[in-house]
Amino acid sequence: MSEYRALSIFFNPRMAAMLCLGFASGLPLALTGATLQAWFTEAGVSVVTIGALSLVGMPYVWKFLWAPFMDRFVPPVGGRRRGWIAITQIALSMTLLLLATLDPSSQPKTIGLLALFIAFFSASQDIAIDAYRADVLLPAERGVGAATYIFAYRMAMLISGGLALVIADYFGWRMTYQLMAVLMALSTIATYFAPDVRDISQPTQNIMATIRESFADLFQREAIGVILLFIVFYKLGDALALSLFSNFLLHGLGFSLTTVGVAYKTGSLIGTVLGAFVGGVLLSRIGLYRALFLFGIAQALSTLTFLLLAAVGKNYLLMVVSVLIENFCSGMGTAAFVAFLMSLCHQRYTATQYACLSALAAVGRVFLGPVAGLMVSHLGWEGFYGWAFLLSFPGLFLLVLLIRKVNVNAKLVEC
């Protein structure tokens, strides 16, 4: 690939769509995750309850159950991919507006239930966007496309997870969630103008047959058992390290909302974006398997910076540096990981297959939350981050096992 061709990949309508849809996908996650944690923390809710909030993310784990319906049925406007994206975006904006009217100190259960609905619509949006991304990008564009998508995704998380905290500090949580709802509604405009997906073969007319065919095609992959275990464990340590990070900075170290919103969120954005683009470029040069392995090692070692921060205590410079390093390494790993998931999908069943694979990847982020709260209560922050470091290695061992079982020249390890 020439240098000119490499640069030209960044400038086409498909990459513009990755920017817009990545932003739309990233916006809701923090609003039911880190930002909601901060809202509950400010309201005086216990760390164990805050840890349990991660369970509202269960739709991200179980989204493969309804993904076949989004492969099988086509909305009347926008087509199979863009139509479903627009529907979920409208639903998200409406539920976020409703969430803005509630109070966690007196209505924690109601907020938790509504957050579960928001997570459902967000997971459904991800099903459609992930399928659209896998269908619309050319094979040579997957690494750069994943990096572009992650850039926009993190920009949205900076707004919903960083700027939102600053807005809440000055104007309150009600206005914060109302503004996020407006941004979510505006994303439907970008969805309308996104390039359409061409030449998608039609699934069978029977929904049950669609489900059977989708999973039959996926599970015929060579070494599929090792592949599925690898997907679960590759980001497990990283997910554990970040599961209570807002609470760690606010309650554990005593940083203010504004400091966390500006310094931590900005540092995480810069680190992740740089990591994603560096990872996307390196991916096209060194190959998918080698990238997954090298980026996974860097991802594991970067967790030690959080352990150092927990040992030193409240230190602004160390906090910014540790966030930059961890998110840079995590961004590289994510770019390679997304390209890996896309390479496994058959275009006819992209929504179902990608939903199944990405749901497995979300297991750690969702179910480690309650465990993380108990770990912090019993082990302290240093012990917690020590375990996060150790849990980064099972995925790497599975990756080594995987490459021994799968031909390195197969599609699995191509970019």
For 129-143, give one letter per residue: b (16+ CB within 10 A) or e.
Answer: bbbbbbbbbeeebbb
Tell me the C-alpha to C-alpha distance, in Å, between residue 143 and each of 58, 218, 296, 369, 396.
28, 22, 16, 30, 20
| Helix pair angle (350-361, 207-219), 10° resolution | 60
Task: Pick 102 or 369 by higher pLDDT.
Answer: 102
pLDDT tens digits, 225-279: 889 999 989 988 888 888 788 788 888 888 887 787 777 667 777 887 788 888 8
> Measured between alpha carbons, how far is 259 from 357 in angstroms, rounded to an integer?
36
The CATH number for 249's domain is 1.20.1250.20
Give the pLDDT confidence score for residue 84 in this predicted structure: 94
Residue 332 within any structural domain of the chain: yes
pLDDT tops 90 at residue 294: yes
DSSP classification of residue 255: -
Q: Are 180 and 23 in contact (CB under 8 A)?
A: no
Band (pLDDT 50/70/90 cuts) for residue 128 is very high
Q: What is the pLDDT of residue 74?
A: 84
Q: Is the pLDDT of residue 415 over 60?
A: no
Q: Residue 3: inside a domain, yes or no?
A: no
Mean pLDDT in residue range 59-68: 84
- Give the per-residue pLDDT at 3: 46
Residue 89 lies in a domain: yes
User: What pLDDT score does 414 carry?
Assistant: 44
Is residue 240 a part of any domain in this protein?
Answer: yes
Considering only residues 197 and 411, tell me which one the structure prediction assigns the higher pLDDT: 197
Check residues 18 and 50 and name the one with the higher pLDDT: 18
Least confident of 30-39, 199-208, 332-341, 373-382: 199-208
Note if the pTM is more than 0.75.
no
Residue 201: pLDDT band by 50, 70, 90 thresholds?
low
Q: What is the structure's pLDDT at 142?
A: 74
Domains identified in the chain, total number: 1
Alpha-carbon distance of 98 to 131, in angstroms, equals 29
pLDDT at 361: 81
Residue 1 lies in a domain: no
Instruction: Give the least confident one: 50-54, 72-76, 111-115, 193-197.
Output: 50-54
pLDDT band for position 8 (cuts 50, 70, 90):
low
Considering just the CA atoms, what is the radius of gyration of the chain in Å? 20
Q: Write down the pLDDT at residue 410.
A: 42
The mean of the pLDDT values for the chain is 83
Q: In this predicted model, what pLDDT tens digit does every residue of 101-127 receive, in sequence order?
A: 998 877 888 888 999 999 999 999 999
Does residue 47 sit within a domain? yes
Kindly give, in sequence order, each residue whose CB lies less than 8 Å from that of residue 10, ignoring residues fewer than 6 positions away.
144, 148
Tell me the one-letter amino acid at 312: V
**Whether residue 90 has pLDDT greater than 50:** yes
Q: How far apart are CA 117 and CA 285, in angstroms?
A: 41
Structural domain span for residue 260: 9-413
Percent of the chain at pLDDT > 90 equals: 24
CA atoms within 13 A on the CB side of 322: 22
Query: Is the CB of residue 68 less than 8 Å from the CB of residue 352?
Result: yes
pLDDT at 99: 94
CA distances from 61 to 267, 268, 344 (A): 28, 24, 18
Q: Is residue 393 part of a domain?
A: yes
Task: Round to whole Å and give the CA distance between 286 and 284.
Answer: 6
Q: Are 142 and 343 in contact (CB under 8 A)?
A: yes
Residues 6+ apart with CB under 8 A from 210: 68, 71, 72, 203, 204, 349, 352
pLDDT of residue 126: 92
Query: Do the domain assignments include residue 376?
Result: yes
> What is residue 295's predicted lDDT score, i.e. its pLDDT?
93
Q: What is the average pLDDT across 127-142?
A: 82
